[in-house]
Structure 1
Amino acid sequence: MSDRVSEAKRKPPRTRVAHALAGLVVLATGAAGLVSCSSDDGGDGDTSVTPRPSAPDTASFSGTLPSALSSLGESVKASVRAAASAAASSASARASEFEASVSAEVLRANRAAETELKDVEGRGNATADVSLSGKPRAETSGLLAVVVNIRNSTDETASYAVQVDFRDSDGNVVETRFVGAEDLASGGRATPLAISRKPPEPPLTAEIAKAQRY
């Protein structure tokens, strides 16, 4: 017995360290096998696996989209402005053509009415003798026009000057037209037209702003 103890004591230290390392490797291998088995069984074990977040795919991103949208917006705005300008020019041209078909006497009366109303304060003295009615666009080349109905309610011959304002949906005056009737006999009537030069859209509303008998 003493010989075996002595033999053990005579084993070099390097051999004992190698044996210890081999034992640790066996233990580590067994532990890894247990973890693998627990994961493969699909059971509700205590071991949880947290997936590593993947980096974003920057190749799918582009910095040109906002710029493209901005360019598209500016293009749409430019198209709308161009269309509005073309519509206004067209309406003005049609108004000029329509007015050219009206007699020179009517045009002269309208210019006289504008001159007469420059010095009139308030709404004038003849609003009760004037009213407005619609005119079909088919008869005015698609223009907005209203018939200014004038009736001389006095016992004497009189002339009339009328200012017609066209307002938008917010109540703002966007256009003013003048019409007149000269030397209207007592009880006589006249129906001049007040024609807007604005395009059909947005719609406008006409009203009598002033009416003066002189």
Structure 2
Amino acid sequence: MNPTSARTRRPVRTRAVSAAAAVVLTALGATALVSCDTGSDDTGAPTFSERPTAPDASGFTGELPSSVASSAAAVVESARASASSAAASASAREAERKASIGAEIERSRQQAEDVLKGVQGQGNALGEVGMTGKPRAGTGGVLAVVLTITNKTDEDASYAVQVDFLDPSGKVVETQYVGVEDLEPGEREQPLVISRQPPEPVLTPRLTKAQRY
């Protein structure tokens, strides 16, 4: 063996061992720094901790707490009750309005019938009343006519009108009365008269009497 070569290799091995030792010491020093508790150290050195992990969302159901859910349900139920009450109130008002209109029409009809009971012939206002039939397509198949009542005098006046419905043989099968009150001079109203008879047989409306009073 060459002595020179052995001496040459020895320092190399020594340097390698020294380098390895330095790496181990460096690693140990780093570990000591990481595990050191600096809670009471005033040097301001940073504290290291493990990386935080995301929360496990698999246990969440997406449901509100019972108290919140109960409160929300109460609000919804209250709103529903209020809406139902408002609808019922509106329906009641509409029913009252229709009942009022119906009562007024019936009162006017009855008054017209009473006025015409004592009238002989066709009355004194037949020339102030016109009659026009309405197409059955627009009335659901029922027979209806429109009266045009015009006050042609120079004073306020009320009118009572009788409309008869005749079958094909000329027999009166239905009579309707219409009243219009307190028309000013030149004023006109157009009440609707509807037959309550079936569509068949076809009836013919006739303006029978009209009295101004």
Normalized against structure 2, the TM-score is what?
A: 0.51
Amino acid of the structure 1 residue aligned with 2:155: E
Q: 1:194 to 1:100 in 2, by over 3 A?
A: farther
Q: 1:169 to 1:101 in 2, by over 3 A?
A: farther
Measure the CA separation in 2 of the matches of 1:102 and 1:207. 26
Deviation at 1:152, TM superposition (A): 0.5
Deviation at 1:142, TM superposition (A): 2.5
- Structure-1 residue corresponding to 2:187: 188
Percent pairwise identity: 59
Deviation at 1:138, TM superposition (A): 4.3
Amino acid of the structure 2 residue aligned with 1:188: E
Residue correspondence of structure 1 range 90-169 to structure 2 within 5 A? 103-169=102-168
Amino acid of the structure 1 residue aligned with 2:166: R
* 1:82-105 alpha-carbon deviations (Å, 9 max, x no partner): xxxxxxxxxxxxxxxxx9795433
Q: 1:113 to 1:206 in 2, by over 3 A?
A: same
Q: 1:168 to 1:101 in 2, by over 3 A?
A: farther
Amino acid of the structure 1 residue aligned with 2:134: K
Residue correspondence of structure 1 range 34-45 to structure 2 within 5 A? none
Measure the CA separation in 2 of the matches of 1:140 and 1:102. 20
- Structure-2 residue corresponding to 1:209: 208
Deviation at 1:171, TM superposition (A): 1.1
Q: In terms of Rg, which structure is larger?
A: 2
Measure the CA separation in 1 of the matches of 2:160 and 2:208. 11
Measure the CA separation in 2 of the matches of 1:135 and 1:108. 25
Q: 1:150 to 1:165 in 2, by over 3 A?
A: same
Q: Alignment partner of 1:199: what SS?
A: coil
Q: Alignment partner of 2:107: what SS?
A: helix
Deviation at 1:168, TM superposition (A): 1.2
Q: 1:209 to 1:141 in 2, by over 3 A?
A: same
CA RMSD of aligned residues (A): 2.0
- Structure 1 residue runs of 5 or longer lacking an equivalent are 1-98
Q: 1:104 to 1:136 in 2, by over 3 A?
A: farther
Amino acid of the structure 2 residue aligned with 1:179: V
- Structure 2 residue runs of 5 or longer lacking an equivalent are 1-97
- Structure-2 residue corresponding to 1:38: none
- Structure-2 residue corresponding to 1:170: 169
Measure the CA separation in 2 of the matches of 1:162 and 1:100. 23
Measure the CA separation in 2 of the matches of 1:103 and 1:185. 24
